[in-house]
Amino acid sequence: MKQLENDTNLPRYDRCAALLMEVVPLIMRVIRAEIRGVAEMSVPQFRAMGFLSRHPGTPLSGLAEHIGLTMPTMSKMIDGLVDRQLVTRQSSSSDRRRIELALTPEGLALLESVRGHISVRLSEKLRSLPEQSLIAINRSLGELRSAFTLPGEVGIGTEG
Amino acid sequence: MKQLENDTNLPRYDRCAALLMEVVPLIMRVIRAEIRGVAEMSVPQFRAMGFLSRHPGTPLSGLAEHIGLTMPTMSKMIDGLVDRQLVTRQSSSSDRRRIELALTPEGLALLESVRGHISVRLSEKLRSLPEQSLIAINRSLGELRSAFTLPGEVGIGTEG
DNA sequence: TATTGTTATACTCTATAACTATA
DNA sequence: TATAGTTATAGAGTATAACAATA
């Protein structure tokens, strides 16, 4: 079954996939622990706040869709963030069914603080690597981002 | 603030950290969706089975510690896997307080099946990248694995 | 009638505390 | 008394279904 023309690259893909299966959860754990520890917040909450920082005024339905949660789930999540005064929830003047969500200044500050803490923690781990490796890793991560970003989708560090 | 000797590399670390924050959750979602979709299983369940495939006979306490869950949580998780006939739970002959955990043949087959499906799904995403990039990405992932693997810790694709 | 959001309910995953059996 | 594991209970986080308000 490896005779087909398209299969010549499969071992390389397999190797890459196996490495991703191994490395990605390791790094995800660091990120999750930092979000929890610094802000007592789940990853989806953090992603939602990141999205709102880029798209203030987003309605609940749009946010739920972008983050990949149902509206009831997002509604409850926003309840909690509003209670913590990290997010504002305001009826739209043009369509009173809609609510426009945005970060409070405290929410934005917390978001930036968490991002900074994650960056510091990840950098600590990266310090063992030589300069030349970091250059290559940066390029590789940029290519992985292209490969895994669907049109309309966003990442944790940027939009959601 | 960029004049300090030690700071010359900081932007590179920052850039790398920001990319990780963005890329890692994207890939994690693909992996999680595949585990859920193929095996109706959570990521920790999948990791536990991966660990048992490498360390059959592990007691509950050891598994809980390696996966990073409490014993009650692991006990309930194993309940479910035993009910599904993916894991066996057998009292130790030398110390009857302990139970020795292992995969059933069905459990091992499911584990391998899920790994294959994840690999296929990740490979699909990687197909857009040129051969040369894959080589560099493989090298980069290997270095990231080194940087993020603590002694005794394991990855999803290998041990846990 | 369709859309936006909330409430009701339930299930999974997780934890801490209390308990049982064994050492 | 100490250890391995389970049971009891509780709190997030998620979903589907039913509901309310608005268009």
- Model pLDDT for residues A38-63, shown as the tens digit of each residue: 999 999 999 999 999 999 999 999 99
B3: pLDDT strictly greater than 70:
no
Cα A16 to the chain's mean position, in Å?
A: 22
Please, what is the average pLDDT of chain A? 88
SS3 B108: helix
Inter-CA distances, B27 with A16, A152, B24, B119, B134, Å: 12, 16, 5, 12, 16
Give the Cβ contact number of residue B11 at 10 Å.
10
Query: One-letter amino acid identity for B59?
Result: P
- Could you report the per-residue pLDDT of B21-55, keeping only the tens digit for each? 989 998 998 999 999 999 999 999 999 999 999 99
- Could you report the per-residue pLDDT of A71-125, keeping only the tens digit for each? 999 999 999 999 999 999 999 999 999 999 999 999 999 999 999 999 999 999 9
Q: B9–A131: do the CB atoms touch at under 8 Å? A: yes
* CA separation for the pair A70, A64 (Å, rounded): 6
Q: Rounded mean pLDDT of B98-116? A: 97
- What DSSP state is assigned to residue A157? T
Structure tokens at B36: 């859920």
pLDDT band at A153 (very low <50, low <70, confident <90, very high): very low
pLDDT at B150: 63
pLDDT band at A158 (very low <50, low <70, confident <90, very high): very low
Who among B16, B27, B47 is closest to A148 (CB)?
B27
Selected residue of B10, B36, B144, B145 to mutate for chain A interface (largest A Cβ count, 10 A): B144
Say if B19 is an interface residue toward chain A (CB within 8 Å): yes
CB pairs under 8 A between A and B: 194
Query: One-letter amino acid identity for A51?
Result: F
* CA separation for the pair B67, B47 (Å, rounded): 7
Q: Rounded mean pLDDT of B4-10? A: 52
pLDDT band at B11 (very low <50, low <70, confident <90, very high): confident
Beta bridge partners of B91: B99
User: Which residue of chain B is at minimal alpha-carbon distance from A43?
Assistant: B25
- Please report, rounded to a whole number, the percentage of residues in chain B having pLDDT higher than 70: 87
B148: pLDDT strictly greater than 60:
yes
Q: Which of A64-73, B18-27, B86-95 shows the lowest mean pLDDT across its residues?
A: B18-27
Q: Rounded mean pLDDT of B86-105? A: 96
* CA separation for the pair A158, A142 (Å, rounded): 13
Q: Which nucleotides of C are covered by protein (CB under 7 A)?
A: 3-8, 12-18, 21-23
* CA separation for the pair B140, A29 (Å, rounded): 19
Query: One-letter amino acid identity for A81?
Result: L
pTM of the model: 0.85
DSSP B76-107: HHHHHHHHTTSEEEEE-SS-TT-EEEEE-HHH
* CA separation for the pair B137, B120 (Å, rounded): 17
* CA separation for the pair B128, B89 (Å, rounded): 44
Cα B48 to the chain's mean position, in Å?
A: 9
Cβ atoms of residues B39 and B114 within 8 Å: yes
pLDDT at B135: 95
Structure tokens at A117: 């803490």
Inter-CA distances, B52 with A71, A75, B85, B117, Å: 38, 39, 14, 20
B15: pLDDT strictly greater than 60:
yes
Answer with the residue of higher pLDDT: B149 or B121.
B121
pLDDT at A8: 52
pLDDT band at A2 (very low <50, low <70, confident <90, very high): very low
